[in-house]
Amino acid sequence: MKTDSLFYSIFQEFPFVFFALLGIPAEATNQYQFTSQEVKQLAFRLDGLFLPIIEDSQLPFYIVEVQFQPDPNLYYRLFAELFIYLRQYQPQHPWQLVVIYPNRQTERENNIHFQSMLALPNITRIYIDELSTPETASLPIKLLRLIVEPENTAPDLARELARQVETEIPNIAVRESFIDLLETIVFYKLPQKSREEIAAMFNLSDLKKTRVYQEIQAEVQAEAQAEIAKIQAQIAKAQEARQREKTAIILRLVNLGLSTEQIATAVDLSVAEVEATIEEAEQN
């Protein structure tokens, strides 16, 4: 999963995480809908867009951009999208542009053209590595820090977050979704770890309800069914081979002039089975 898609998934399912980045109370999420919208003139698409869902012209709408790779053309594109969007939709709300970077080194400012624009209060640039330290950060901030956390410390932070989720999120459905999201981030961070190792990382009382556990169980069942099918195919193949061998023996005995009764005794079959085998061989 690409990093920007991961962020947009987080904002889609847990919009309070975005507002926590801006220091806005979680209650603001009830006033917004997270979506994407096309700017038709140049086939641009605003992938992250928080639009107010209540009639309040003082509420801003937020354009969100996640940028984890250096891009000297980013601000050219962003400001073009912004002003074409304003012209096309003419929203009845002030605009805010939020750009999220992993660190300052990733940003390419291009001060010649955008220095004054970037100084506007409408623009917020967030650097994940400069957010509050894990010891003092809120749950949403810790979640986003996990994305840029070094691999050697990411498991510890993930376990800490899982424990915090269990104590701070009373809603069971939301808690399970949050744990699923944690697992997704850890998969993204530590692709070399197996699903079993990821599941073991989250030593939770409701582990059996998590997506990773369920996926592991589904994989185990699928592997077991595949193994059973393989064994059944081998048994069927062996039975077919034995049947062909028995048929060959029966036909040789027929050619030697033995009666069906004598052949049945020799191959340990009933007379009816011997007769059926001979009849089938003659038809083929």
pLDDT in tens, the chain (284 residues): 467 788 888 888 889 999 999 999 888 899 999 988 766 555 566 778 999 998 888 999 999 999 999 999 999 999 998 998 899 889 999 999 999 999 999 999 877 889 899 999 999 999 998 987 766 678 888 888 888 888 888 888 888 888 888 888 888 888 878 887 887 788 777 777 776 677 666 664 444 455 555 555 566 567 767 777 787 788 878 778 778 888 888 888 888 888 888 878 877 778 888 788 788 777 76
Element (H, E) at 67: none
Q: Are 205 and 172 in contact (CB under 8 A)?
A: no
How many other C-beta atoms lie within 10 A of the C-beta of residue 32? 20
Query: Which domains occur in the chain, in start order?
Result: 3-148 (3.40.1350), 217-283 (1.10.10)
The residue written with tokens 């955008």 in the block is: 114
Instruction: Tell me the torsion sign for CA atoms 194, 147, 5, 22.
Output: positive
DSSP labels, 77-144: HHHHHHHHHHHHH--SS-EEEEEEESSGGG----HHHHHHHHTSTTEEEEEGGGSPPTTT--HHHHHH
CA 16 to centroid of chain Cα atoms:
20
Q: Where are the beta strands (DSSP E) in 6-53?
A: 32-39, 44-52
Rounded distance between C-alpha atoms, residue 204 and residue 162, angstroms = 8
